[in-house]
Structure 1
């Protein structure tokens, strides 16, 4: 069996998989013989059962690239206006610590239901005032800095 056990001589541990552990129930198996030999050679060997890795955390913005944002905006009736505003937001973001986050925050504010099917009716999203959005971001940043100073 491949990759069913691992020996760490520095920490004096044997890490075994479930398959290796089950094979130890058969006294005629190679795993059982290996295990007995290891126990004889290393009496203080600590045995650890390998566990499954925790599932990876979901990344909600995984595929939300600038290109995908532009594709989403291009389906609306006022797509030209939205894309012009998007370009302005991207240019403004270059002065930020994290340009992508700045653009992402604008996009999520502009399109709070972007994960749902867009409404192609007369309810085209209204363009958010960029100056007001920037001011709100700066106020948020200032509040965070004040909180950090209080904590320090």
Structure 2
């Protein structure tokens, strides 16, 4: 039986709580504190387990894709100067949108769709034609105060 913030697992003989419910149950006199006392009085052999926040089930597609790592990747290309110039322009344009990182990351993924795979060299050179910045109209613009 799952309830808000806690559940009793009789198969493992545990009282499982999320961290918010647990912290509320640590304050004397709160409804959570009274409920935990009643449960432990009825089932004294239960052990208490506190779960951290939400479990991340799928890894982030942009994990470790920081501006610094993007720049390192760009510098590997023979036409790095041209690509870095476009990268800096995209970063400057991103300041107007609500989510600047998403704007830059979208450009980077479009520019380098296989950035996470081993590069292929053509005639001993690693080059790619620059892709223009995404259309800023497709992004939510920051609200100015």
Into which bin does the TM-score normalised by the smaller protein fall? 0.5 to 0.7
- What TM-score comes out, normalization by structure 1 length? 0.56
Q: Report the counterpart of residue 93 of structure 2 in structure 1.
A: 92
Choose 1 or 2 for highest CA Rg: 1
Work out the CA distance in 1 between the residues paired with 2:65 and 2:84. Answer: 16
For structure 2, the residue ranges without an aligned partner over 5 or more in a row are 1-12, 16-24, 26-31, 141-145
1:65-80 maps to which residues of 2 (within 5 A)? 65-80=66-81
Work out the CA distance in 2 between the residues paired with 1:60 and 1:106. Answer: 14
What is the aligned residue count?
A: 106
Give 1:13's match in structure 2, choosing from 14, 39, 47. Answer: 39
Change (3 A) 1:96 1:9: closer
- What TM-score comes out, normalization by structure 2 length? 0.58
Change (3 A) 1:95 1:51: closer
For structure 1, the residue ranges without an aligned partner over 5 or more in a row are 15-37, 143-152
Work out the CA distance in 2 between the residues paired with 1:86 and 1:9. Answer: 54
Q: Report the counterpart of residue 124 of structure 1 in structure 2.
A: 127
Work out the CA distance in 2 between the residues paired with 1:126 and 1:10. Answer: 65
Change (3 A) 1:75 1:52: same
RMSD: 3.4
Contact residue 73 and residue 82 of structure 1 kept, 8 A: yes
Work out the CA distance in 1 between the residues paired with 2:99 and 2:65. Answer: 15
The superposition leaves residues 85-138 of structure 1 with CA deviations (integer Å, 9 ceiling, x where unpaired) of: 0001001111111111100000011011111012232562211123xx22xx52
Deviation at 1:13, TM superposition (A): 2.0
Contact residue 110 and residue 127 of structure 1 kept, 8 A: yes
